[in-house]
Structure 1
């Protein structure tokens, strides 16, 4: 895989580890709880993706991802010890960037391994949302992917934008960055203006 893909994946792991650590801080977990929550948030989605694609699990093949997870968690702990105020908004913003990064990484890995575009979009969505879903379930929270503003839909939209650019003839090197931008901006906009897709009528 190319260097940029490796660094993009490491960035996604770091951001999601920060998100997990912030949630652990909010729930007043001990040191072991912080490591567990940071890890499942950072590597949970990619692990499921690799298993489904029948590929070596990325963090077992390359331990840089484990070191990145631990390093991001420790840096976040240090920051929180210096500035213990916890604006919940920070968690949501970190989660939005992690969601977008992992969405692109999941798509790219699927496409590199010759998966069709529809499967790549599904793998991007799974990579993006599954770690956060595990984090929220462990913390006994309603998962963001199942409640509130648009979440998984932003991954699907980002994936469709990738496909649209690719099929329109744009250089494939630009497609991931455009999908990343679409995903993160849509997620931040959904948080800001409370965009939802209601199915049931409110009584």
Structure 2
């Protein structure tokens, strides 16, 4: 769906830069060297799409097909080293950009799966993987509990966004309208979840040996 990809491209580039920069700040907190900063930026921004492509057998991987993505994300991460004293103050802005990235990457992941005629469930999962897994890889490499596995609504936002997008396309609605609706709903859902501290139910198990 080249038309939909063209509509999402500018937002995706902004989101890639934002994710690479937030990953660089995480690397700085872990006192990584410059190579580690650049690699973590690339892995975080491009990891979700890469895992999706490997699982679906969709080759070449998106950054192999478009090598400039490595320069974009790695460069953004390295630039953050010099801008860290200013960047870390804009936490709210990065939360907004991360929310945009989540919904945009989800839709792009759904597009890839639909272009391969994958079944409905796989399309939803492909969208979620694209939107969420980069952050999981970042957190694992930084020895943190991934955001996806905590109570905060993140994967849920991706799933809702994917369902709205897939449903609209399947019903033959205008792709422009469907994209706009899915992006707005997913974006607002994510920001409300952050603002109102909406959470998934937690499973707490404590063994009592007494």
- Describe the shift of the 1:188–1:4 C-alpha distance in structure 2 as closer, same or farther (beyond 3 A): same
- Normalising to structure 2: TM-score of the pair? 0.83
1:187 aligns to what?
190
Q: Deviation at 1:84?
A: 6.3
8 Å CA contact 1:15–1:97 kept in 2: the answer is no
2:64 aligns to what?
60
- Describe the shift of the 1:10–1:112 C-alpha distance in structure 2 as closer, same or farther (beyond 3 A): farther
Q: 2:20 aligns with which of 9, 13, 17?
A: 17
Per-residue deviation, residues 67-118 of structure 1 (Å, max 9, x unmatched): 211232234333325x265465455444323222211111112222322332
For structure 1, the 5+ residue unaligned runs are none
Number of residue pairs the alignment of both structures matches: 202
Q: 1:175 aligns with which of 170, 173, 178?
A: 178
What is the alpha-carbon distance in structure 2 between the residues aligned to residue 156 and residue 44 of structure 1? 18
What is the alpha-carbon distance in structure 2 between the residues aligned to residue 42 and residue 182 of structure 1? 22
For structure 2, the 5+ residue unaligned runs are none
Q: Does 1:142 align with 2:145?
A: yes
Q: Deviation at 1:181?
A: 2.0
What is the alpha-carbon distance in structure 2 between the residues aligned to residue 160 and residue 23 of structure 1? 31
1:71 aligns to what?
75
Q: Deviation at 1:130?
A: 0.6
- Normalising to structure 1: TM-score of the pair? 0.86
- Describe the shift of the 1:96–1:111 C-alpha distance in structure 2 as closer, same or farther (beyond 3 A): same
1:116 aligns to what?
119
8 Å CA contact 1:8–1:105 kept in 2: the answer is no
- The 4+ residue runs of structure 1 with deviation greater than 6 A are none
- Describe the shift of the 1:170–1:70 C-alpha distance in structure 2 as closer, same or farther (beyond 3 A): same
Backbone CA RMSD of aligned residues: 2.5
- Describe the shift of the 1:27–1:161 C-alpha distance in structure 2 as closer, same or farther (beyond 3 A): same
